[in-house]
Structure 1
């Protein structure tokens, strides 16, 4: 009850204060009242969505997830929404015509990462409300912050504007995919559909709702993101007859090769002896170094994100080579990586088992930076292995895309700066996100649109157990669900305003 009262008090303070952003949002108090009234329904809608996980890697709820996404779009006021088939998981395309002069693109992912319920403190599909010390009341569930919580807050925002008798200040074009968590394997097929491509071409840019508010209430603006390529390396009876078809007795290792050792030898060539610097032939030839402006942004951002806070969050005590904090951040944002996600071979149960594995597999990912491409990275990997005689190492690419970047003076970024400055919210600008999303699909040809992330909400645990999204904040400077929803309301009006000024 105390948390509920706190939320209402915060809403009342927001309504009564003369927020500078409110001057650009007509009848903001009325919309805020609607958001507050819809609070319980919005929370329940988020819980219901979390209860239906779409997991592309497991082929779980792949048709159902798209149908549910379509229903959410229609319920939020999109006049039309349709399923877009692909060679993999279907996508959703929807439009909302508000009769506005400006059209804004919107990217959603409706899929989530895998989960093991045994690792969670509360069931991952129930969306239980859990008090988090120092944060407030949170909703815990797979997809809560990545990305269903922020996306539901955005849907709540456009619902509230319309329920208050208003028209949106911008038209919307939505594309939602169900394969983001497997590196958007077929998303390029969606944007290639003429109806979808033509609708997106009319937008001023595309953004993805996110939870980018820090614990102290500050915000982050990102000017792009690294690309990602997910792939597997396999060695075994299926790739060469010198390995057994199945696990056999380990005594045979004196006369039969072990595929696990072969895989380890291949993996060892992909990085330098330091264990982290990529060593694939030609890997760095198209890597664009940081500009002076980007280095300046990194240094400024470090002041808002203290080093020890970063280390505590990650659970580490030092950076690579004991580098200074600023150097580690420059590496974080500028360096491409070759990462092993997991290794699988032979027996992994309790105790030992005298077997020679019939198969060994490594799951890896690349993170790419401008001006690298997915095709370049995959081609260089295969050539690198072939040159060293690893023709028995099978390379299977499961998905991926290149990096994206957007100009600091684009409408989408200017609107974020304007909103934060009017609202008195401290913010930093990052040259790019070290994580990935398929913004290059919009950012690159043929659309060549600005692509960004925006959201003034908070959460954590993406891809991990006990993933959470903040519903009722214990800190007035940090947004709970209703305040995050109003940030999207304000953002739409500021985007309209900035668009009217032109690029």
Structure 2
């Protein structure tokens, strides 16, 4: 990027700082929570307006069988087109668990840094709004973007992107994606040392609900009854617990579902080497502090734990509910028990086989009565390390004197398989600097102003996106 252009964009971003915070607060104040079917249309309409205000030529709302999507285009007349993925939905929250109101976006001090606490602050409204701030700077300075941008946004990511395929399958969207060199998702995952992990893929995820219901199965009462009847009437809570226990080995974490590991592709030597090379001094201590954990599964060392994190599928109980949980005892026998489960998937596991394998596993053990209610399910992603968007990210980080490491796979999930799998078949990568944390949890936060020159506040984050676009425009494809 020419120095004069960089200076002009930097000044425009700085001048827009307070307005950028106001725009982010406005977005946060409208929680689009798909699990509660809350503000679906309103969320899409605000997303559409934000894109147009930022300088997109067009932004079209795409109806689906669930939450609508939004498709935006910004044609700069450039030879290179970049695709961008946004989500405008957020997770549920319990306001009483937060130290600050979760929909106000208040600024607070966190270890000497100014952060915004709000639902959606880091996942994903903060980084996405910061990318839009960068695009606005081009508009404010009259600087042509070095690349064209096509943007696809959805409102169902937090529930598994049930209808995202209807958005990417829209003829106009599909044609636009076919002309892109890759897809990025804005993030702010900088380490305390300023380093950035570049993930060349992500695990897939499948969410299901398991239900033991005495009223429908006949194995238990059709209503809550006195606990003295436990000698004569089966308890659905125990029924569900017994079924859940078959899903993992005796260690409590190794998947034990029949056929679950059949198509798991081990990490290559090169991928393991990537993980080992990415272990920086202090990273284990920082990870333990962030998650408030004292050790890793089975007492493993950090290196072994990181390899497991990237390579292993998981069987996780998100929540388990049955019967009375109020003060004191109630001496009751419940009629229903429910568990919410998520499975993390790795290459070459197939997302469309998850429910069938789970059903067959339970049926084989006599649990035909356990109901399976599928939720969102999508597969893992992989991106080659020599993709243009990866080269551009490496170049931008190097120019900013920020260290980076390559990592074969993010343990979390996003619906990137809609981009990386056929028929789209594009590389996809997470791009950004800055920090945030507590995604999905109380006191979710996003770094606004940093007291450390190695870690970026939002103005520097926005300028980084501009630098990335210039780097991408020059990358050989």
In the alignment, the residues of structure 1 paired with residue 196 and residue 282 of structure 2 have an alpha-carbon distance, to the nearest angstrom, of: 11
In the alignment, the residues of structure 2 paired with residue 279 and residue 389 of structure 1 have an alpha-carbon distance, to the nearest angstrom, of: 16
- Check whether the contact 2:80–2:148 (CA below 8 A) recurs between aligned residues: yes
In the alignment, the residues of structure 2 paired with residue 400 and residue 215 of structure 1 have an alpha-carbon distance, to the nearest angstrom, of: 33
Give 1:128's aligned residue. Answer: 106
- Deviation, structure 1 residue 194: 1.3
- Check whether the contact 2:183–2:428 (CA below 8 A) recurs between aligned residues: yes
Question: What are the residue-to-residue correspondences of 1:22-171 with 2, within 5 Å?
Answer: 22-23=1-2, 27-134=5-112, 136-171=113-148
In the alignment, the residues of structure 1 paired with residue 100 and residue 305 of structure 2 have an alpha-carbon distance, to the nearest angstrom, of: 35
In the alignment, the residues of structure 1 paired with residue 48 and residue 428 of structure 2 have an alpha-carbon distance, to the nearest angstrom, of: 23
* Equivalent residue in structure 2 for 1:403, among 366, 376, 380: 380
Give 2:243's aligned residue. Answer: 266
Pair 1:305–1:336, CA change in 2 (3 A)? farther
* Equivalent residue in structure 1 for 2:415, among 422, 438, 450: 438
- Deviation, structure 1 residue 379: 1.6
190-199 or 262-271: which moved more?
A: 190-199
Paired positions, count:
477
In the alignment, the residues of structure 1 paired with residue 282 and residue 420 of structure 2 have an alpha-carbon distance, to the nearest angstrom, of: 28
Give 2:451's aligned residue. Answer: 474
In the alignment, the residues of structure 2 paired with residue 378 and residue 496 of structure 1 have an alpha-carbon distance, to the nearest angstrom, of: 43
- Deviation, structure 1 residue 390: 0.9
Scaled by the length of structure 2, what TM-score is found? 0.98
Give 2:173's aligned residue. Answer: 196
In the alignment, the residues of structure 1 paired with residue 58 and residue 281 of structure 2 have an alpha-carbon distance, to the nearest angstrom, of: 42
- Check whether the contact 2:189–2:432 (CA below 8 A) recurs between aligned residues: yes
Pair 1:305–1:62, CA change in 2 (3 A)? farther
106-115 or 317-326: which moved more?
A: 317-326
Helix, strand or coil at the partner of 2:453? coil
* Equivalent residue in structure 1 for 2:254, among 277, 281, 293: 277
- Deviation, structure 1 residue 156: 0.4
Question: What are the residue-to-residue correspondences of 1:187-266 with 2, within 5 Å?
Answer: 187-266=164-243
Give 1:10's aligned residue. Answer: none
In the alignment, the residues of structure 2 paired with residue 307 and residue 199 of structure 1 have an alpha-carbon distance, to the nearest angstrom, of: 42
Q: Indicate the RMSD between aligned Cα atoms, in angstroms.
A: 1.1
- Check whether the contact 2:215–2:223 (CA below 8 A) recurs between aligned residues: no
Cα deviation, 1:211-255, whole Å, max 9, x if unaligned, reads 121122111111010001111000113431232222111122222
- Check whether the contact 1:86–1:189 (CA below 8 A) recurs between aligned residues: yes
1:451 aligns with 2:428: yes
240-249 or 122-131: which moved more?
A: 240-249
- Check whether the contact 2:80–2:181 (CA below 8 A) recurs between aligned residues: yes
* Equivalent residue in structure 2 for 1:460, among 432, 437, 442: 437
Cα deviation, 1:45-73, whole Å, max 9, x if unaligned, reads 00110000000111111111111111111
Helix, strand or coil at the partner of 2:280? helix
In the alignment, the residues of structure 2 paired with residue 432 and residue 26 of structure 1 have an alpha-carbon distance, to the nearest angstrom, of: 38
In the alignment, the residues of structure 2 paired with residue 205 and residue 305 of structure 1 have an alpha-carbon distance, to the nearest angstrom, of: 33
In the alignment, the residues of structure 2 paired with residue 248 and residue 120 of structure 1 have an alpha-carbon distance, to the nearest angstrom, of: 36
1:335 aligns with 2:312: yes
- Check whether the contact 1:304–1:428 (CA below 8 A) recurs between aligned residues: no
Helix, strand or coil at the partner of 2:162? coil
- Check whether the contact 1:42–1:156 (CA below 8 A) recurs between aligned residues: yes
Cα deviation, 1:312-361, whole Å, max 9, x if unaligned, reads 22211111111111101000111000000010000011111111111100
1:364 aligns with 2:364: no
Helix, strand or coil at the partner of 1:244? coil
